Structure 1
């Protein structure tokens, strides 16, 4: 019997478990370990609350989690409750699927001022992640800046721009919806170092900016290269640029009080303020022949009371596991860290690709695992159960999660799918008895 521990219950973890079930059949037992008592990782706490169709992928993960060959061990912290070294002694193979939950820092003076928030924290706040329930982003200023030109930056800007009615049927938590309903923010700037041709938005994300009830997307016409140059773009990027050109041609809608300005060719130089954020100084840039952003020497200041840095993520380092600090991921060769220890998803390749990208990644990793030495006779479930019991660790099972799920659904406001429980003390009451 092959024993497999997967650390992390997000998309990468569940796709890896699905692949292992298919590869090993009845000859495998899988434990999916997570530090939170709630599964699904990025699906639950990272996907925008108004993108419920994307979150529906969790139903597929349910089929994996309820397979008798699989267990969910929630509320187990790696490095505190059990070490990676101990896991590799208990299981034949250990896969780190912990994602990249940490924000990449802006790396400019003033980034430590109150009011500068990483996108992982901001997204976690409005998505009900227990780590960020007390964030309280400053929403009293009229202007906010989001640094980044990817989908996460668009998500943050869109949530700031939407009305309560637009968010009512999402699973945004009430502790975020209430202050957002009182927000004074009416001008949102989304900064990108390069231009429309290099933006990393997907068509769906950028298109949604044109459908907001009270907000208008603004793009400067002068930020575009000649229209004939669009023909050289790949189809997806060309369609994104078409939408951006439409925004530029239409200009602001005087009937809408909020603007979302896509400020291309701007990179942050420093955050301004004394006791809190008061503005951000940016360098104007241009794109050279190689497609890289270069400084023009011209700067400008954007007044603001909130800065959200959405410029990428990093994996959390784990004691005893080689870590590439520059790349923000574990040191590995095609997913192999050391004999019996593997990584997958963002923990392997860094924060790139979509949720679906993790499926082929997980299946490819299991192929490599299957090609290595077969079962080593490790204790597996019996071993981890005995160790955690001896240390007084209370495990949240998948059945416990189903109870939490039912509670959240029952607490939902009108039209919403759920109201997430964000207090760990309250969550523990479900499985601590």
Structure 2
């Protein structure tokens, strides 16, 4: 069987590995990506100060060493290659393109200047070619980050880090330069539900209390559990919740040490409007206080009260949910990939697959070279990887990234 996989992030590699290990069928996989570089969010989404997480790419490299594997980077589905082309060369296709666009919050003022989706900011500081030219006004003193998952924690942590902490990471050089000039002093992370239901992991929230240049603040009244949350915690619905609440309540009791920045973690508040200042861009966020209740399925949900407050914030970054896009960890994708491969192989066993005209690796490679002559092979990526690591070594950093496709192609040439 010859399978095309579009998207070379974690799910793409996990799906490829499952296909290679499938019993009773020999599979060749051609893994495509719109960018010349593989690894998706491991390269473009994992925070630069979390290098240990990026070591997962070693497993992906082992998958790529299989002689039945080929990588075609810099090849875009829908323009360079279309579905009709795929059908001529492959028995089946798997799409692993992820959730690339955030869902809107759907509140007034969301389209104002200085209002951004977390996807843009995360990709910007990670040097994603599509986002390297985005602009974020870091001259503001206060920023509101909507969401309390791990992505929101990453955003807050990068904003709160000192330049000395960041310059030992693989953050994009242009982002490092701009963050070094940041005037942000107040960071507000806003959660709709209570502390027990916060989506961040315990290690992530604990790390926020260990920042070199920022104090963490939690309001005692928001860290306290109401009856609904206490019942939910006691039920054991989330085994990490008791420790999470303990950490947050300790933060609420701690005295601040006078660091240059303050990160305030809020609960039971939702933004209902972004309010413009005289320059026409965001200067304030109108918040509504929430209360918790259980719906007909027993799920703990927030609902608005009639209590409002205004929060001064000249920059807004939101992390709205898109399916499971910003939830879970990298390994969560492994189960998703396995389920997809299982269903695909069931179809193959039932004879439900394409009958391609030219099902050979050589014919597919000739076709790709014709449509996208500057494509990156995995060997090209490894050469680029070595160059980035060498550039980083000279500065005491894990790597210094090439942040445009043109730079990548020129480096390989």
Aligned to 1:281: 286
Q: Deviations over 1:168-194 (max 9, x none)?
A: 222111111111111110100011111
With normalisation by structure 1, the TM-score equals 0.87
Q: Does 2:377 match 1:397? A: yes
* Secondary structure of the corresponding residue to residue 131 of structure 1: coil
* Secondary structure of the corresponding residue to residue 188 of structure 1: strand
Output aligned runs, 1:150-229, within 5 Å: 150-223=149-222, 224-225=224-225
The Cα of 1:163 is off from its aligned counterpart by 0.5
Aligned to 2:400: 419
How far apart in 2 are the matches of 1:262 and 1:210? 11
* Secondary structure of the corresponding residue to residue 154 of structure 1: helix
CA contact (8 A) 2:369 2:375 kept: no
Q: Deviations over 1:319-360 (max 9, x none)?
A: xxxxxxxx5xxxxxxxxxxxxxxxxxx6xxx55432112212
Output aligned runs, 1:21-60, within 5 Å: 21-23=20-22, 27-60=26-59
Which of 247, 251, 254 aligns to 1:250? It is 254
How far apart in 2 are the matches of 1:155 and 1:213? 15
Which of 239, 249, 265 aligns to 1:262? It is 265
How far apart in 1 are the matches of 2:370 and 2:266? 56
Q: Does 2:360 match 1:362? A: no
How far apart in 2 are the matches of 1:164 and 1:275? 30
The 1:136–1:385 alpha-carbon spacing in structure 2 relative to 1, beyond 3 Å, is same
CA contact (8 A) 2:75 2:372 kept: no
Q: CA RMSD in A?
A: 2.0
Q: Which structure 2 residue ranges, 5 or more long, are not aligned?
A: none
CA contact (8 A) 2:188 2:265 kept: yes
How far apart in 1 are the matches of 2:106 and 2:160? 27
Q: Deviations over 1:363-403 (max 9, x none)?
A: 23222222223675522434433433443542110111111
How far apart in 1 are the matches of 2:84 and 2:98? 19
CA contact (8 A) 1:76 1:393 kept: no
Output aligned runs, 1:333-412, within 5 Å: 352-373=327-348, 378=356, 379-380=358-359, 381-412=361-392
The Cα of 1:89 is off from its aligned counterpart by 3.6
How far apart in 2 are the matches of 1:247 and 1:175? 34
How far apart in 2 are the matches of 1:151 and 1:111? 22
With normalisation by structure 2, the TM-score equals 0.91
Which of 235, 239, 242 aligns to 1:235? It is 239
* Secondary structure of the corresponding residue to residue 136 of structure 1: coil
